[in-house]
């Protein structure tokens, strides 16, 4: 059984079935936190409709609910789907990215080298040109 639970703009996809564990071994606290009142396992995966408002057309994986972050503007950022997209956009310059808000990385030495700053800014600008609502800020701008 797949149960869609609205969670802001996404839908969390908890599951239940004979192949799903009934709980965590000898850990009732984790079990209580991970299962809803119907015994459905809330694994934290988010889905979105392939075609808005038409579930018959299927779903796309849309990251992890636990990795989402709410900005001070009230906008939710789906970091779970964003991180790998940004890592790919950087074409090997990074094996992973950290998504942080505000001035969290403004003084970081990582982007001190001017050639690296220019290259990363150009790659992120290319990414932003096609990213729609998943655009990101470019360091050095």
Q: What is the pLDDT of residue 106?
A: 55
Calculate the CA 12 to chain-centre distance: 12
Return the closest-CA partner of residue 135 out of 57, 75, 92, 48. 75
d(CA 10, CA 5): 8
Q: 83 and 108 share a domain? A: yes
* Local confidence band at 24 (pLDDT 50, 70, 90 cut-offs): very high
Final residue belonging to a domain, choices 67, 86, 116 = 67
On whether both 77 and 92 belong to a single domain, the answer is yes
Q: How many domains does the chain have?
A: 2
d(CA 138, CA 103): 13
**What global pTM score does this model have?**
0.53
Q: Quick check: is 76 in a domain?
A: yes
* pLDDT one-digit tens code per residue, 30-56: 999 999 988 999 988 888 888 988 989
Report whether pLDDT(105) > 60.
Answer: no
Is 107 contained in some domain? Answer: yes
76 in the same domain as 114: yes
Please, what is the end-to-end C-alpha distance for the chain in angstroms?
A: 47
Q: How far apart are CA 45 and CA 107, in angstroms?
A: 34
The domain in which residue 48 lies consists of 5-67
27, 45, 67: which is the final residue of a domain? 67
Residue 139 in domain: no
| Same domain for 101 and 127 | yes
Maximum distance among all Cα pairs of the chain, rounded to whole angstroms: 56
Considering the domain architecture, whether residues 102 and 80 belong to the same structural domain is answered as: yes
Instruction: Examine residue 140 and state whether it is found in any structural domain, yes or no.
Output: no
Q: Are residues 60 and 76 in the same domain?
A: no
Residues 61-81, mean pLDDT to the nearest whole number: 75
């Amino acid at each position: 059984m797949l149960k869609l639970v609205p969670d802001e703009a996404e839908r969390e996809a908890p599951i239940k079935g004979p192949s799903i564990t009934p709980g965590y071994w000898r850990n009732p606290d984790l079990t209580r936190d991970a299962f809803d009142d119907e015994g459905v396992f809330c694994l934290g995966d988010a889905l979105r409709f392939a075609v808005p408002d038409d579930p018959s057309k299927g779903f796309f994986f849309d990251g992890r609910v636990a990795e989402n972050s709410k900005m001070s503007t009230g906008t939710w950022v789906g970091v779970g789907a964003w991180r790998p997209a940004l890592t790919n956009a950087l074409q090997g310059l990074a094996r992973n990215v950290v998504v942080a808000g505000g001035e969290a990385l403004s003084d970081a030495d990582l982007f001190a080298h001017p050639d690296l700053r220019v290259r990363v800014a150009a790659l992120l600008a290319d990414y932003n040109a096609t990213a729609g609502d998943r655009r990101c800020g470019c360091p050095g701008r």
